[in-house]
Structure 1
């Protein structure tokens, strides 16, 4: 009987210990009392650090670098109690290794995404060229005349006033003078090649739609919301042409 009782007691203790270990989940979110300024400020410090860390981890996960968040929490708890398992040198070496790993993953993803964007653009332009009203120039630029204008077309050295909207192939708008509420003014030879070529086809008052291959846009370089090797779509309205002064020759 005693052996049976002892066995039952041991089993109970083991079960209780297991339950306590399950409850000690480092990722468990608990509601805490935040009444005083000290309490709120202390919580805010931890929350701010956690938010910053989560943003970084999410970016790394997009690159395929997956880290165990529970170990991150354990490392944090150990460090603030000066009970960390790694030396300062080991931590620095490990973090440098992580930095290198992340950069390599970013480079690989950017290359893969760029290649996918390039193929998507080629397929899009090939199909778009078949549509009625679409003209393809020798450079590969495609355009549609939405509204004709009158007067003299600008030269590359001229300054133009335009309204425009730029989108990616999925319809995402990345820039728009309409949204800003005022037209843009710029020298025509200071923009992407697709614009320099395309706007010279227009006359004041005209509105064209341009489908610009990546090599006439930003190429392999990403720019803001525009990813690497992206084919771009622009609706452009030419409002005014400011003729550049003709260069004078020395007598």
Structure 2
């Protein structure tokens, strides 16, 4: 999980003026003065290094948070939190609840940011499970038997030797042991949940195609540059050997 940095953000206030005038006859008429020129933010005055650094902290960290999809905060409470920490006051939220609140906020923002990808993955799986030969487990994992082997099935505590190819739902390949001409040995309890579950369905010598929802894959984080957050994944996997624990 990426390191979360709290940022100081200062609100910019736009000022509009309302003018009331009275006619010479004594009848009061209310008029509103509206400027067509955008109000520019107040220019900061930096008298010391502390001033410059304080502004830099707020601007730099807020820009980073904005890039992650967060567009605003409760500035009053943000400033209070900073003052309490610098002033040595007891926090009004425990460290555990603080981390949970921050994590939940970024999770909500991330889901909103990637809503199209989440919807596309869900639609793909809904359509895919209607195809002939597709089976669905209670967890939501979908699989198709390409070749059924006759050997033993691995347990979650076993190490297995596999060949595989992984793609996104748009067909883009992100990994392949076939291209490397080198099967992969791995412990089943050390991989994504979709693999742990799916490979236990297979007998040695089998080749399956797994369709893995993001919850059973790399989730909200994704993996590297090739697997975006909330990605539904497709794997063709050959179970070559079960090596035991």
Contact 1:207–1:235 (8 Å) recurs in 2:
yes
Query: Over residues 172-202 of structure 1, what are the superposed CA-to-partner deviations in whole Å (9 max), with x where a residue is unaligned?
Result: 2222111222010011111111101101111
Question: Are 1:229 and 2:230 counterparts?
Answer: yes
**Residue number in structure 1 paired with 2:216:** 216
Residue 99 of structure 1 corresponds to 60
Residues 133 and 144, structure 1, Cα contact 8 Å, conserved in 2: yes
Q: 1:135 and 1:154 mapped to 2: Cα distance?
A: 19
CA shift for structure 1 position 221: 1.9
Q: What residue is the counterpart of 1:203 in the other structure?
A: 203
CA shift digits 1:187-244 (9 cap, x unpaired): 1111111101101111122111000011111211221122222111111011111123
Aligned equivalents of 1:218, 1:93: Cα separation in 2: 37
Q: CA shift at 1:145, angstroms?
A: 0.8
Paired residues, number: 160
Change (3 A) 1:136 1:87: same
Match of 1:145, SS state, is strand
Structure 1 residues 50-89: aligned runs within 5 Å: 89=49
Structure 1: gaps (5+ residues): 1-85, 245-251
1:151 matched to 2:112? The reply is: no
Q: Which residue of 2 aligns with 1:184?
A: 184
TM-score (norm: length of structure 2) = 0.59
Q: CA deviation at 1:114?
A: 2.9
CA distance in 1, matches of 2:203, 2:47: 69
Q: Distance in 2 between matches of 1:128 and 1:184?
A: 28
Provide the C-alpha distance between the structure 2 equivalents of 1:169 and 1:114, rounded to a whole number of angstroms: 15
Give the 3-state SS of the residue equivalent to 2:194 in structure 1. helix
1:115 corresponds to 2:76: no
CA distance in 1, matches of 2:229, 2:149: 34
Q: 1:132 Cα shift?
A: 0.7
Partner of 2:194: 194
Unaligned runs of 5+ in 2: 1-45, 71-108
Question: Which secondary structure state, in structure 2, belongs to the residue aligned with residue 238 of structure 1?
Answer: strand
TM-score, structure 1 as length reference? 0.58
Aligned to 2:243: 242
Q: Does the aligned pair in 2 maintain the 1:113–1:228 contact within 8 Å?
A: no
Shift of 1:157: 1.1
| Residues 166, 233 of structure 1: 8 Å contact kept | yes
Runs of 4+ deviating beyond 6 Å: none
CA RMSD, Structure 1 to Structure 2 (Å): 2.2
Flag the 1:144–1:94 CA change in 2: closer, same or farther, 3 A: same
Partner Cα separation in structure 2 for residue 168 and residue 129 of structure 1: 17
Q: Contact between 1:214 and 1:229, CA under 8 Å: does it hold in 2?
A: yes
CA distance 1:138–1:104, shift in 2 (3 Å): same
More strand by share: 2
